[in-house]
Amino acid sequence: MLSIFNTPGPNISRKAARSIVRDVYGLDLSATALTSERDQNFLLKEKAEPKYVLKISHAAESFDVLEMQHAALAHIYLYDPEIQLPRPVNTLDNELIFHHETASNEKHYIRMVEYVPGELMKDLGKQTNGLIIDLGYLLGRLDLALQDFEHPAAKRSFPWNVAQTDFLINNQDNIRSKEDQLIIQHFLQEYEKNIVPISHELNRAVIHNDGNDHNVIVNKDNRAHGIIDFGDMVHTYIICESAVCLAYLVLNNHDPIDLTAELIKAYQTVFPLTELEISVIIYFICLRLCVSVTMAAYRKQLFPDNEYITVTEDQAWGFLRKMKNVDLQGWSDKVVDKTFH
């Protein structure tokens, strides 16, 4: 069922990647492999200068999902061209997406996008308040640009959409510790009790859904100015855009309430949220981390050599264990108070 998650990703060699770029795009560039959760990416350079990224999709990836990403990128660019995005590049045959068959008869969709200059946020030594404000502002601009974007593929069944809890319910057994399984069950119960009854009051739209520090690009002035990797886009609650981002920022932060309020205040200057939306963000932060640790438990058994799968697993468990004993409503009240006062 979850074929893009439980079957191996592409394994195209660097030499083959360079050949593809020469034959399909007419460019002679060097290629360096990049880390990826389920696809395969190569950074393409000309005389040591990054130019493009070659993106080789998982064999089970849907064409519709890739087409949605390109449509969303074009939509955002028209609305807010200042956001730095990985803009798609045409092949010599004027295609944005093409089908490639490997020597072992595996078929993959392949694309090339422009390299977004800057540094990944994860590689910065310290995340300052100024950078958190920039990040909130960037996410607000992104969602403002996407607010009237629609695509059928955004409503697919997808484990990383925290509004869909089937994956968590059906895959807890992959977590070895019974005590940790109870933590997942605790946050599912919190979701059922506090979110489901008011879900009709929460605004929905298509969101990026993966604004973590591996995907946010920071310029030479340490300003968050771009975002990459639109592969997890879904139609879901708008508040999840900020919640997903914060889920990874809070892991090693000594004051997650202040951090959350700072990011939301900046987001609000561009794209206002309701008080109700802000009051439930902690439930979505915790639920996103539940998906993260459950997915890691599931996939590391299948792909033990892929370190990217478990990159935040230990920190996520630490946060969830701590938050299990916290009054989430009281936590939320403090965020709302700091956001509006």
Per-residue pLDDT, 131 = 92
3-state secondary structure 62-79: CHHHHHHHHHHHHHHHHH
* pLDDT for the residue 60: 94
Cβ atoms < 10 Å from Cβ of 148: 10
**DSSP letters along 15-68, please?**
HHHHHHIIIII----EEEEE--SSSEEEEEEETTEEEEEEEE--TT--HHHHHH
Q: Rounded to 10 degrees, what is the CA torsion of 278, 282, 283, 287?
A: 130
CA–CA distance from 84 to each of 19, 77, 134 (Å)?
Answer: 28, 9, 13
The architecture of the domain spanning 120-340 is Alpha-Beta Complex (3.90)
Question: Hey, what are 276's tokens?
Answer: 């109700």
Q: For 118-143, give one letter per residue: b (16+ CB within 10 A) or e.
A: beebeeeeebeeebbbbbbbbbbbbb
CB atoms within 10 A of CB 68: 23
Domain boundaries defined on the chain: 3-117, 120-340
The answer to whether the CB of 300 falls within 8 A of the CB of 6 is no
What's the pTM?
0.95
User: Does 3-117 match 120-340 in CATH topology?
Assistant: no
CB-based burial, 12-25: b 16+ in 10 Å, e otherwise: beeebbbebbeebb
Determine the Cα–Cα distance for residues 36 and 56; give it in Å rounded to an integer: 10
Neighbour count for residue 47 (Cβ, 10 Å) = 7
The answer to whether the beta carbons of residues 21 and 44 sit under 8 Å apart is yes
Q: 203: which 2 tokens?
A: 């605004």
Within 8 A by CB and 6+ apart from 97, the residues are 63, 66, 67, 70, 109, 110, 111
Q: How far is CA 6 from CA 27, 38, 65, 339, in A?
A: 34, 9, 18, 41
Angle at 237 between CA 41 and CA 244, to 5 degrees: 45
Rounded distance, CA 234 to CA 61, Å? 15
Domain 3-117, CATH number (from 3.40.1360.10, 3.40.50.970, 2.30.33.40, 3.30.200.20): 3.30.200.20
How confident is the model at residue 1, as a pLDDT? 43
Per-residue pLDDT of the chain (341 residues; tens, 9 = 90+): 458 988 889 999 999 999 999 999 999 999 999 988 889 999 999 999 999 999 999 999 999 999 999 999 999 999 999 999 999 999 999 999 999 998 888 899 999 999 999 999 999 877 777 999 999 999 999 999 999 999 999 999 999 999 999 999 999 999 999 999 999 999 999 999 999 999 999 999 999 999 999 999 999 988 999 999 999 999 999 999 999 999 999 998 889 999 999 999 999 999 999 999 999 999 999 999 999 999 999 998 888 887 778 788 999 999 999 999 999 999 999 999 999 87
Burial 48-61 (b: 16+ CB within 10 A, else e): eebbbbbbbbbbeb
At 104 the pLDDT is: 82
DSSP for 125-188, please give it.
Answer: S---HHHHHHHHHHHHHHHHHHTT---GGGGS--TT-TT--HHHHHHGGGSS-HHHHHHHHHHH
